[in-house]
Each structure stands twice: as structure tokens, then as C-alpha cells.
Structure 1
């Protein structure tokens, strides 16, 4: 008769599986024993008071406020694109011709303002002095009607 095909590692793996199974059964029995001692579902409930804090006491129905569901707005309202009338001046700090966009540094506010090639009137290069108008878009301020000065 031949030797057993069980190696040391196979025996260790089997022992580990058996121990894991026993631990699982033991935990299951403990949960069943604790559930029998528990006070029930009422002790597991939590309530939220008018300030948003969790509490164990139910709210007073007399203090109930009604809210119109139509008045609740989820998210942020979209901003409409509006053009400013005042013409501003600045310097083109970045211009990526291959990508079709760049940034202008406003001389008045020192703010970096995005512009797209669709908003260009003249051909421009980096470090050119330009005049432009600011349009507020949903993503922030954007320069339009960009003209090269001088």
C-alpha cells in the first residue's frame, strides 16, 4: 500500500478551514443567544429631532411642520450666460493653438481668464496685449470678443 497523498500544507489548510468553520458556528450561536436577551426592535430605533440630532425618544406630533415638496430645490440652479458691457484689457499669458484655448491676465484685477478660439476676433500670440469682454458661463468667467491691441 502506498503513502498517503496528504502533505503537511494540505493538512494545515484543512485545519485552518475547520477552525474557521467552528469560529463561524460559535459566532452564530452567540448572536442567537444575544438576540433572545435583546429588548426588541423598539430599542434599535433612532429618531431625528428638529435640530437634526439623533435621539431615542420619538418626536412630538404637535410640533410637526409641513413642507411644500415643490419648494425644495436639489442641486444648484444653472447660471445664464451674461455678457458684461465694459471692455477690459489684458495680456495673453497662455495660448495653445493646437488645443484652441488660452488664458488672459486681466490688467485691472490680475485675474487669469479663460478664452476659446471661438471668442477671438483677431489672430493672437502669447504675450500680445488684447482687449476683451467678460462673459459669465456656468463654468466661470470667460473672455469673448478678444481683439489684439496696437
Structure 2
């Protein structure tokens, strides 16, 4: 159990608070007695590199930019890449639930597919070609076709 140590009485704490208030007031009076700073003394000038200067001589005037020289456009789209179908094998297929997974033979990745993207008569173990598209939960296999059984 921690023991709370009392080093001073209430009167001592009040005296300490009062002395802090007096010190703070003295510092404030010293600041005011040294003279208030004028508005010009408080100004700072920033050059084109973001460096602060106390005089405007160190700051060069800004360069004017002609807005008509600025080119704004959308980059031209290059030739549309032909999407090559991927080769894979049906790893899992649940007919009653209407979904399955295809394992890509090239990368080993597994892709989800829905029965609406698959041809009739597809079964587990079939070799297929397919394309991939981004779905709501990741990449999905679409346009699936069976390679000769």
C-alpha cells in the first residue's frame, strides 16, 4: 500500500501559490516595461523558399505566371490491352449453393466464381479458361469455359 507523504500544511501551500502569482506578475510587468513592440517589429517577411526575414529587402517580388501557358489535359489512353484468358482448374464447386473456386495454373491463386459465370456441366477437377474481374470482395473469375474434357 502506497503511503501518501504530506510535506507542508495548507498555509504553506497557499504561500507557495501566492509567491508563484507574484513572480508571474513581476515577469509580466518586466515585459511591459521594456517597451511594447510596434506592429512593424512584429512583421516577418517570407521569401520564395519559405525563409523568414525581418526586412523586406531580403524578399524578392513574386514572379507572375501566365495562366494560358499551363496545359491541363487528360492523358490519352493507349491501345487497349487485350485481356488474355487464364488457365486453371476447378478446385471446389458446390452446386447447391452455386459457387466455387478456380486455381490459376500460372500463379497458384484461387479465384471465386458464381454459377452464373460458369457453363452448364462444370464439375470439380475440370480444366478451364477464365478471365478475372474485381468484385465486391476481391477478384472473381468470369467468362469461364471448359477446355476439352
Same fold at TM > 0.5: no
TM-score, normalised via structure 2 length: 0.43
